[in-house]
Amino acid sequence: MSSTMQHNNKSAFGGTRKEKLREWEISNQLKAMKEHDCLGFYQDHGFAKCQLLIFYEWVLLGSFQCAVSQFRHPLILTNHKNEVWFVQFSNNGEYLASSSSDCTAIIWKVLEDGKVTQKHTLRSHQNPVSFVAWSPDDTMLLTCGNMEVLKLWAVETGTCKHTFGNEGFIVSSCAWFPDSKRLVCGSSDPEKGIYMWDCEGNAIKAWKGMRMPKILDLAVTPNGENLISIFSDKEIRILNVGTNAERVISEKHAIASLAISGDSQFLIVNLNSQEIHMWDVAGQWGKPLKYTGHRQHKYVIRSCFGGLNSTFIASGSENSKVYIWNRRFSSPIEVLSGHSMTVNCVSWNPKRPQMLASASDDQTIRIWGPSPSKKEVLPKKLV
C-alpha cells in the first residue's frame, strides 16, 4: 500500500535555476518527440512552441503520477537472512543486485512479466557487504565488504574473478569508468586515498597523500569525465579526470551518500540534516536545490535519480518509507509504505520507469510497480 502526499506549489528552485531546469526537462521531451516524428503532428495542427512547452510540462508530471499510482503491488523478496543495505538495477534493467549484513550479495534476474528470480548468491566476504556496482556493460559486478576488500564477480557464472586490496586496504566505495575496463575505489584510510585499477588488479593511478582524507563515497559520471568523491564528512570533490582540475563543494552537515544523474549533469547527496541536496556538476549553481520530507539522522540512507530523463528522485528513510520527488519541487509527490524498518537504499530500473526497488533493515527487498499480471507498456525511447 502507499499513501500520497499532496503536491504543493513550493518550488525547490529559485528563479533562473527553476527556469533552466524546466527548459532542460522540456527540451529533452521535445527531442524525444522529434525522434519519434511526433512534433510535426502537433506543429501541423497549430501548436506554437510555447503551447508545446506547457503541454509537455503537463505530460512530464501527469504521466509520472499516473505511473506512480501503480506502485501499489510490491513484490517482496525475502532471500537475505539479515538487514539489506544496498540494492541496484543493472544498466540494461535486466538484473538487480543486492547486498546484506548477512555477508552475501545476490544477483537477481528481472523477468519480462515483472517478476524477479534469484540467479546467484555471492559468498566470499567475511564481513557484511555494504555496496555493489555494475560494470557499464553489465557483465561484471563489484562488491565492497564493510571495512574489508573489494571483489569482482562474473555476472553470468557468479564466480569471483579477482579480489582487490588486502587486510590493510579498507574499501569504502567503488565505481566504474564507461569502458568497463577501469574501476576506482575509495578507502576510509586517509593514507590509501583513491585507487584506479584494471580488471586484472593492476594499479593504473592513485590519488592519496596529505590532501586526501578518508573517502566516504565516490562515483564516476556516466560520461567518464568526472570523479566525484565525498570526504571529510562535509565536502564534495569533483575532479576532472582529463584535466585534473578540481572543485570542492562544502556542505554544513555531514554527507551520508552520493548519486549521479544518468546524463552526468547533476549529483545528489543525502545529509544527516534530513535534507537531500542537488548540485550541478558543471559548477554554475551557487546554492543547491533542496528536498525534504524523509527522515535521516543516524544511518546511511541512499537516494537515486529515476523516471524519464532522470526527472525524479527517490530515497529511503529511517521511518520505513520510500519517498519520491519531482526534481522541480522540494516536497514529495508520493510516499510508499510497506517496510517495517529503516529503508537503506532505493534503485530505479533505468529501462522500466514503473519499477523501483527498495532495501530495508527488515531483511526484505520490495519491488514496487504494476502487478506482475499486468503487462507493462515500455516507452519506445527506453526499449
**Residues 40-57: pLDDT tens digits?**
444 444 444 444 444 444
Amino acid 276: pLDDT: 98
DSSP letter, residue 179:
T
Element (H, E) at 119: strand 116-123
Q: What's residue 354's pLDDT? A: 87
CA 92 to CA 383: how far, in whole Å? 10
Residue 211's pLDDT is what?
60
For the chain, list residues with pLDDT below 70. Answer: 1-73, 167-168, 190, 209-213, 371-383
Q: What is the pLDDT of residue 369?
A: 86
Asked if 224 and 241 count as a contact pair (C-beta separation under 8 A), the reply is yes
Residue 240 DSSP SS3? strand
* pLDDT value of residue 241: 93
Q: If residue 345 lies in a helix (H) or strand (E), which one and from where to where? A: strand 343-348
pLDDT at residue number 193: 83
Cα(148)–Cα(359) distance, integer angstroms: 21
- Residue 271, pLDDT score: 97
pTM of the model: 0.82
CB 81 within 8 A of CB 380: no
Give the long-range contacts of residues 375-379, CB within 8 A, separation 24 or more: 375/113, 376/114, 376/352, 378/351, 378/352, 379/308, 379/353
For residue 21, which phi and psi values (nearest 5 degrees)?
-70, -35
Domains, the chain, in order of start with CATH, read 11-67 (no CATH), 73-371 (2.130.10.10)
| Sequence-separated (6 or more) residues with CB below 8 Å from residue 153 | 105, 107, 120, 122, 140, 141, 142, 143, 159, 160, 161
